[in-house]
Amino acid sequence: MLDLLPSALPATVTATPARLLRRLRGAPSPVAGRTVLVTGASSGIGEHTAYAAARAGATVLLVARRAEELERVAEQVRALGARASTYSCDLTDGEAVDALVVQVLAEHGAVDHLVNNAGRSIRRSLSESADRFHDVERTMAINYFGPVRLTMGLLPAMREQGFGHVVNVVSWGVQIKAPKFSAYLASKSAIDTWGRILAREARSDGVHVTNMRFGLVKTPMIAPTKEYENQRAMTAEQAGQQVLRIMEDLPPAWGHPVGYVGEAMNLVAPGLLDAVMHQLHQRIPDSRR
């Protein structure tokens, strides 16, 4: 994930009063017995979300392009005592997404928790993007159009059963408006806004939406960016645990403190933040990929 500012506070797994009370009572996780579908489940946040959900007693549906890696994750989920099903799917292919929805509903009925985690990041200045409109197209395809299409396909069954939860894995960059990530953050801002509107429209149907605005997480997606090597970051395992907590508590949003500071600065001192971000833009090189 994106990291352009030093993390003044480490990202941690939250502990709410409701969760602490459940632990004191020895109650099972609210996710136990539910069906959780995770996209981008072959590595990183998605993989570790699958393990966390499995430990909580959920049935886990794993979606990604790489069938062999999905089966590896599924074997680990089953070793944890949970049921797992794998679905190899390119979420940028609309017809494939529609077929996935039909298959999942036929095999499992309604999905209780949908974790829209699959995504792509591109770090490139607009000055270097004049002949690269495909950067915009490919980030929108996987970060916005894919999850929206999948969510819309699964939504009627959620409404019919009176419960559903959509988790959108986003980025604190949508709050900070960080330079060099225009294509990536535009797509993540789109799903962030779409998710909030869905939550307000589907509230009476029992459908919840949480936008998770992560800071930097150590996943394969950030590996090509050498500048991230020494940055403080959440591990993929910690991120997966946090997604589980969000599925248990159903908040409308969750994020890193630095993101909320950036969001406030955009409101109260946008010119100052523009100047700071311009300095960062000049100091940080474009990605080599």
**Residue 184 annotated among the catalytic residues of the structure:** yes
Whether 10 shows a pLDDT value over 60: the answer reads: no
Q: What is the dihedral of CA 3, 5, 9, 13, to 10 degrees?
A: -20
CA-angle at 54, arms to 50 and 58, nearest 5°: 105
Instruction: Give CA–CA dist 281/241, Å, rounded.
Output: 33
The residue among 223 and 282 whose pLDDT is bigger is: 282
**Phi and psi at residue 25, to the nearest 5°:** -85, -10
Encoding tokens for residue 16? Answer: 């709410």
**Phi and psi at residue 281, to the nearest 5°:** -60, -40
- What domains can you pick out in the chain, each with its CATH number? 17-283 (3.40.50.720)
Encoding tokens for residue 187? Answer: 């797509």
**Amino acid (1-letter code) at residue 104:** V
Sign of the four-CA dihedral 76, 79, 80, 82: positive
Evaluate whether 173 touches 181 at the Cβ level (below 8 Å).
Answer: yes
How confident is the model over 117-160, as pLDDT tens digits?
Answer: 999 887 776 666 677 888 889 999 999 999 999 999 999 999 99
Q: What is the pLDDT of residue 271?
A: 73
How confident is the model over 17-62, as pLDDT tens digits?
Answer: 666 666 666 688 999 999 999 999 999 999 999 999 999 999 999 9
- The catalytic position among 87, 144, 184, 228 is 184
Average pLDDT, the chain: 85
How confident is the model over 225-282, as pLDDT tens digits?
Answer: 455 555 666 999 999 999 999 999 999 999 888 877 777 777 777 777 666 766 666 6
Instruction: Give CA–CA dist 63/89, Å, rounded.
Output: 6
Band (pLDDT 50/70/90 cuts) for residue 1 is very low
Evaluate whether 41 touches 70 at the Cβ level (below 8 Å).
Answer: yes
First to last CA, the chain: 15
